[in-house]
Amino acid sequence: MPESDNHMDPTILTQLVSVKMPFGKYKDVLLCDLPVSYLEWFYAKGFPPGKLGMQLATIYEIKMNGLTHLLRPLRK
């Protein structure tokens, strides 16, 4: 794996607490506040392409691994 693939974008965590879902049932809900059931649905069906898909996959992994406490200091 190339070295650049090993590094996560350092702004992703701040984006998870500031970016809102742009469409669907949870439109205008912060990504970090999306319910696990919605994220599980995306996981099963496939996350959307691009940046939003990466953000949703990241918040899914954070929630599934019990790491939401890491986002608390970033919330405004």
C-beta neighbour count of 7 within 10 angstroms: 7
Tens of pLDDT, residue by residue over 52-67, are 999 999 999 999 999 9
The one-character DSSP state at 60 is H
Mean pLDDT value of segment 38-55: 96
Tens of pLDDT, residue by residue over 8-30, are 677 889 999 999 999 999 999 99
Q: Which amino acid is at 19?
A: V
Per-domain residue ranges for the chain?
3-68
Helices (H) and strands (E) in the chain, counts: 3, 0
